[in-house]
Structure 1
Amino acid sequence: KEHDWNVEESLLVLQMFSDTGAAKSSCLNFTSSSVKPSSSSSAAQVLSRFASETSIAKKQAEERKRKAQAANKHISSDEEDSGEEDAVSSEYDDSDDELDAKEGAMDAKTAIVTFFQDASLDELSLISGCSIKKAQKIVEMRPYDSWESLWEVFHKENGLSENLVSGCKVVLRERRVVLGLMSKCETISSKMIQRVTKVMESGSGSVKAPSILNSQLEMKPYQLIGLKWLLLLHEHNLSAILADEMGLGKTIQAIAFLAQLYENGIQGPHLITVPSSTLDNWVRELKLWCPSLEVLIYYEHSEHDATPAKHFLCVTDRYSLAIGNDSDRSLFRKLQLQYAIFDEGHMLKNMNTHRYRHLMSINAEHRLLLTGTPLQNNLLELMSLLNFIMPSMFSSSTIQLSKMFSMKSHEEQSSFERDRISQAKLIMKPFILRRVKSEVLKQLPSKEEMVEFCPMSEKQKALYEALLKKLKSTTNGEKRELCNVMMQLRKMANHPLLHRQYYTTEKLQAMSKLMLKEPTHIDANAALIQEDMEVMSDFELHRLCQQYFSISSYQLDKNLLLDSGKFLHLKELLASLKSRGDRVVLFSQFTMMLDIVEVLLKHLDHRYVRLDGSTPIAERIVLIDEYNTDPDIFLFLLSTRAGGLGINLTSANVVILHDIDCNPYNDKQAEDRCHRVGQTRTVKVIKLISQGSIEDGILQLGNKKLKLEQDMTAADQGGEGTVPEDIASLLKASLGL
């Protein structure tokens, strides 16, 4: 079949955009030897892209010739740059062709001009060597309405290097790689959407629970649909993310899925990686639902350990192996696993972390992620999850992805990122199953949420205002410093004893000298003892006085221990709840705050148990069982992070959040320890907020995030020692910065 393109005109266009003499020569040689009037000709595919624009390009060629010759040496051709971008695999070379076909006449130079004209400061900063100051200069020099006007700016003595133009080409190439990859993913996704829709609409009637499950237990209809969905994706050799709302039995669905694989002759081995707090619960559920499965509990590698490969299923709490033991990581890279299941796998939402990369290196044919939090409008999370679902597609391009996208709020995202967010969500639709309780559990008791604003005590309020005044005068607004500011304000809003106010320098000097009377400190240096004391809080120093007889007279008065606005409120609240026969789970972010709460509970004579990150794994399930089976235990004290995952406390019907988390979904996780399958009473969630403090703003931001279903996981997403942008803005407003 004859083509309608003109070889001579097309060659002119190719020569105009070639970067070196060698490239021109290769184009000419390629044309003379390879151009044939055949639809399969690769040359035809390249040249046909320019067919519609050849006449325009020909007219522009002369007037642009001088500028093009000067500029071309700074822009590498599409066939080069392989040394700069090791992560771009030849497997995806055709993604540029796909993009060019869509863009038509949008050539490289036009794309560069458009980028410099429209890009935000953040986008310009993606260019290698482009600082914020240079990005601001580029914006100031706008508009750029042609290649010549752009190149003229980058030749002036204005601090802008021509290398930035070359760097822009790299950024645009990386974007084309992403577009090409997502196009391939979209093709796979579109094929699955109809099949998944059919499965979901057909209901649970056509699927039965595996016969090896405990016959005395019954899966709920929505759980059978989840099993059916997992089996469908398995049949098509695809990984999955089960994201049902917390409390809907993701554990049971995963166990049923493994049982069905076992019945189908798939003998494993499989690996389930879980947080330490949920390990015992997983083991218990496995024994309860499917006792015939051979399960190995793996703690850490040892020469004498049983080999996971010899078992059908291995369960480990070794999320920490991703950043710790080399032998553990080596073992799981060598094992040929069928399924790697990650429970509460929030660390798989950020490909920039070492933990993510190590977990992704586990050698498994398929992956299943269990998470109770929804997707957020954040491109790095979405791309991290896409990489999790389709690792073979993205394995060579994670460097570009992590470099291009960061955890930004919706307001900060570029139009390119917002478009990719919509595309990524569409792609992942068939691979993610999320149901909420209101949809599938009509019989589940309701959950009532209330906020109790607690006026600070007079002393506490005075101390808070003094601290705020001090921070205003000493803080410069840097994000790392703001992290410390937020922590200081939150601690004072909760209890003054989390700071050092009452133990003055004079008192510490006297105490340090008295400590020399202790047998353990006879040979110590008083100055060094005082130095250690100066970094301790009032409550820590109070406990020190309880520990050593020589300074016991310096213990704080009981009134100071109980002097907090929240404690005044708790005293009445707990008495009211106890009189009605309610049972309470109380969460706090701070383990030291739990220590002070214990003082209050002992003073009020309330029975309680406690679990936090320091509680040994073996003791956790014992404490949970003790609370669930002994109705005389009124309270369960938990740290939000350690006790907010995978723990079943349906024997309680009241959740008190003594201090809220900056990430509202961490609090949601905590609430759902009680509001889940098995609960028979209405659950009350009570948030305690210190009135007129930083907590007011945190509460408002949290409510906004919940409405948008956006997760604020600052620990992983913002990086250690930083705060999210909206929290930073709140702090700056509070400090008047």
Structure 2
Amino acid sequence: MSKATVEGFREGIRLLPHQVVGRSWMAERESGKKCGGILADDMGLGKTIQTLTRIVDGRPRKSDGEDGWGAATLVVCPVSLVSQWASEISKMAKSLTVIEHHGASRTTSKNELRISSSNSSSFPRSGNSETRTCRCYQLRNCASEHAASKPEAKHEAKPKKTSKSMPTTTKAKKKDALFRVKWWRIVLDEAHNIKNRNTKAAQACCALDGKYRWCLTGTPLQNNVEELYSLLKFLRIKPLNDWQTFNEQINKPVKSGRSVRAMKRLHVVLRAVMLRRRKTDVLNGKPLIELPERHLSIVPCTFDEDERQFYFALENKIDEAMQKFVKNNEVMKNYTNVMVLLLRLRQACNHPSLVSKDYNTDREAIESRPAPKDENEDEELTAMFRQLGVSNGKKCQLCQDELTHENIAKGGERCNDCMELTRKAHRKSMPLAKDSDLPPDSAKIRKILELLNEINSREDEDGELAEEKTIVFSQFTTMLDLIEPFLKDAGFPFVRYDGSMSKEKREVSLDQIKNNKQIKAILISFKAGSTGLNLTACNNVILVDMWWNPALEDQAFDRAHRLGQTRNVNIYKLTIEKTVEERILTLQNSKRALTTAALGGDRIKNLKLGLEDLMALFRPGRDDDDD
């Protein structure tokens, strides 16, 4: 049998040459005392099919069952990918059954899990290939089951008060079944989601019991080398799975600029446990995959005079606030406040009205707040964020300055200086006419409509309208809210996909954009849809706003530019010149260099992001003549 053919896969499915290499590597990483690793191929190279190959190939023996290991593989992934895994398994692997384990109705019985994972009939006998089970489980509930599995967890519901004639309430069952099974294999998809070692999700994933453990991620490192620690801890790679060792030997030296020896140590470990291929890599003289071309355009958007005056008035106000922090040497002490100031500048680039809205609506757009050291600190930070969002008499929601007693007495959320800016921003959200729901547009909304009209009018080789579809990405759900009425007014059919929607509604949106020819665009929030989704039905991507981490953008682009795409992909990255976005573009280059050095074996030299980099984002972006 050819190495490209997998026994147990449906007829006609063949592995690509680089996937054959991955198949052999994964098998080797489950041999002897080796227990898995990191498959860090670029998105679109087929991490899923290589993993399914390992699941089909790497079956437990009867003796493994006698040792207590189950026969099933547990896939832990974001909720948006649970159904996608189930779909891929059913399409490719005829020898696997898949059970989705998520939501309030998921089983609480470890015995029910063991029926599919530990039953002796699930183990191969005499060379027969019995059906084995793959369970797909969502990441966000992993922490809750972990908490419920702890001995001190209160797992019995308090009985309700009832009359003597009514039966008493039965005991509530703990939802911790995943932690009471010894899994044969655990696959952590989009593994970068546990990059913060202090989160409950990271701790829960690391606590799962499995013989073989795999991390799948196209971006194993996004911001700093500390993010690799969680992956090594999950894989139980000694000695770097111990935080003190990792911190002393890797993290601290890199942060202090003494990275040569530390990076050598890290690279030795990564070369052993990680397989990473890029789309641009060549195997046997040929590219790993033949993809259509990808055209990236930086598209400048022009402020109108009102937008321009508003943005620079806001920037002046924020610059004053920053100067106070600098003067008192309190920038990092007020890190959260600084990130809110940055958030406001970014919002103003999209639409002035966003600045008047509650900050909490877009709190997920701040991705770089310091990791809390413990749960109490996490609660304190949460309270701080809430305070910053609604500013209940403490700080101005715009400039983060202390509010006066007069402001507090009036229940104000802005200082006197920011009130006029807020009024102007709010007016930008009001309909232009009584018979219209449309507020004033913005530079980016005008450009989005212009691009969509151009895309929608393209013709194919026969002179017919081409079947073009577009993904519109934004980190701000409030911006998606603003875009919607303009698309409706233009008669442009679209669907939406964001974290506030139920799993069922999100799946409907995905089905519509993939299979309904009338639907021409999908509005997606970065947080919910920048990873994992396969949207090759779309060959255009509009990135409404940017962040300094280019890895996040690459993930978004790869929703369309991946295996299965048959058309050239056009990417439009919107930006406002002479604003904070221009400085973000510059900073992105440093982030790319850091990632390349850490994962590629290069030497890191003066590439870490620090106070100076953060401050650079606040330097005025206009020319001196504009002052």
TM-score when scaled to structure 1? Answer: 0.60
Q: What's the counterpart of residue 605 of structure 1?
A: 491
Q: Is the 8 A contact 1:246 1:672 kept in 2?
A: yes
Shift of 1:358: 2.2
Q: What's the counterpart of residue 465 of structure 1?
A: 312
Q: What's the counterpart of residue 692 of structure 1?
A: 578
In structure 2, give the amino acid aligned to 1:398: W
Shift of 1:392: 5.2
Q: What's the counterpart of residue 655 of structure 1?
A: 541
Quick one: distance in 1 between partners of 2:437 and 2:135?
50
Give the match's secondary structure for 1:733: coil
After superposition, the C-alpha distances for 1:473-503 in whole angstroms (9 at most, x for unaligned) are 22314222210110010001110010239xx
Q: Is the 8 A contact 2:356 2:425 kept in 1?
A: no
In structure 2, give the amino acid aligned to 1:471: I
Classify 1:305/1:296 alpha carbon distance in 2 versus 1 (closer, same or farther; 3 Å): farther
2:475 to 571, 580, 589: 589
Q: What's the counterpart of residue 364 of structure 2?
A: none
Q: What's the counterpart of residue 316 of structure 1?
A: 137
Quick one: distance in 2 between partners of 1:703 and 1:613?
29
In structure 2, give the amino acid aligned to 1:275: P
1:210 aligns with 2:88: no
Q: What's the counterpart of residue 371 of structure 1?
A: 217
Shift of 1:367: 0.7
Q: Is the 8 A contact 2:184 2:211 kept in 1?
A: yes
Shift of 1:383: 4.0
1:628 aligns with 2:424: no
Quick one: distance in 1 between partners of 2:252 and 2:187?
25
Q: What's the counterpart of residue 568 of structure 1?
A: 446
After TM superposition, list the pairs within 5 Å mapping 1:240-639 onto structure 2: 240-262=37-59, 268-299=71-102, 302-303=107-108, 307-311=112-116, 312-322=133-143, 326-327=147-148, 330-375=176-221, 378-391=224-237, 393-394=239-240, 397-402=242-247, 412-415=255-258, 417-439=259-281, 440-475=287-322, 476-477=325-326, 478=331, 479-500=335-356, 561-580=439-458, 581=466, 582-639=468-525
Q: Is the 8 A contact 2:222 2:595 kept in 1?
A: yes
Q: What's the counterpart of residue 14 of structure 1?
A: none
Structure 2 gaps of 5+ residues are 65-69, 117-132, 151-175, 282-286, 358-406, 459-465, 599-608, 623-627
Quick one: distance in 2 between partners of 1:726 and 1:337?
47
Quick one: distance in 2 between partners of 1:248 and 1:611?
24
Classify 1:695/1:676 alpha carbon distance in 2 versus 1 (closer, same or farther; 3 Å): same
After TM superposition, list the pairs within 5 Å mapping 1:141-180 onto structure 2: none
Give the match's secondary structure for 1:489: helix
Query: Which has the bigger relative contact order, CA under 8 A and spacing at least 6?
Result: 2
After TM superposition, list the pairs within 5 Å mapping 1:83-232 onto structure 2: 207-232=3-28
Classify 1:644/1:593 alpha carbon distance in 2 versus 1 (closer, same or farther; 3 Å): same
Q: Is the 8 A contact 2:86 2:99 kept in 1?
A: no
Q: Is the 8 A contact 2:301 2:443 kept in 1?
A: yes
Quick one: distance in 1 between partners of 2:413 and 2:229?
47
In structure 1, give the amino acid aligned to 2:114: A
Greater C-alpha radius of gyration:
1
Quick one: distance in 2 between partners of 1:544 and 1:456?
16
Classify 1:642/1:555 alpha carbon distance in 2 versus 1 (closer, same or farther; 3 Å): farther
In structure 1, give the amino acid aligned to 2:345: L
Classify 1:394/1:707 alpha carbon distance in 2 versus 1 (closer, same or farther; 3 Å): closer
In structure 2, give the amino acid aligned to 1:644: S
Measured on the aligned residues, the alpha-carbon RMSD in Å equals 3.5
Give the match's secondary structure for 1:699: helix
1:730 aligns with 2:620: no
Quick one: distance in 1 between partners of 2:446 and 2:430?
25
Classify 1:725/1:362 alpha carbon distance in 2 versus 1 (closer, same or farther; 3 Å): farther
Q: Is the 8 A contact 1:278 1:647 kept in 2?
A: yes
Give the match's secondary structure for 2:29: helix
Q: What's the counterpart of residue 236 of structure 1?
A: 32
1:704 aligns with 2:546: no
Give the match's secondary structure for 2:80: helix
Give the match's secondary structure for 2:100: strand
Shift of 1:290: 1.2
In structure 2, give the amino acid aligned to 1:663: N
Classify 1:457/1:232 alpha carbon distance in 2 versus 1 (closer, same or farther; 3 Å): same
Classify 1:558/1:691 alpha carbon distance in 2 versus 1 (closer, same or farther; 3 Å): farther
After superposition, the C-alpha distances for 1:408-428 in whole angstroms (9 at most, x for unaligned) are 9x6x4331x441122211222
Give the match's secondary structure for 1:234: coil
Sequence identity percentage:
27
Quick one: distance in 1 between partners of 2:229 and 2:186?
19
In structure 1, give the amino acid aligned to 2:318: L
Structure 1 gaps of 5+ residues are 1-204, 502-526, 547-552, 713-722
Shift of 1:618: 2.0
Quick one: distance in 2 between partners of 1:711 and 1:695?
25
Q: Is the 8 A contact 1:352 1:402 kept in 2?
A: no
In structure 2, give the amino acid aligned to 1:271: L
Give the match's secondary structure for 2:546: coil
Q: Is the 8 A contact 1:386 1:424 kept in 2?
A: no
Quick one: distance in 2 between partners of 1:611 and 1:697?
29
Quick one: distance in 1 between partners of 2:433 and 2:481?
19
Shift of 1:615: 1.6
Q: Is the 8 A contact 1:387 1:394 kept in 2?
A: yes
Query: Of Structure 1 and Structure 2, which has the larger fraction of its residues in helix?
Result: 1
Quick one: distance in 1 between partners of 2:355 and 2:14?
52
Classify 1:213/1:538 alpha carbon distance in 2 versus 1 (closer, same or farther; 3 Å): farther
Quick one: distance in 2 between partners of 1:370 and 1:481?
34
Q: What's the counterpart of residue 56 of structure 1?
A: none
Quick one: distance in 2 between partners of 1:602 and 1:271?
42
Shift of 1:307: 2.7
Quick one: distance in 1 between partners of 2:111 and 2:502?
23
Q: What's the counterpart of residue 33 of structure 1?
A: none
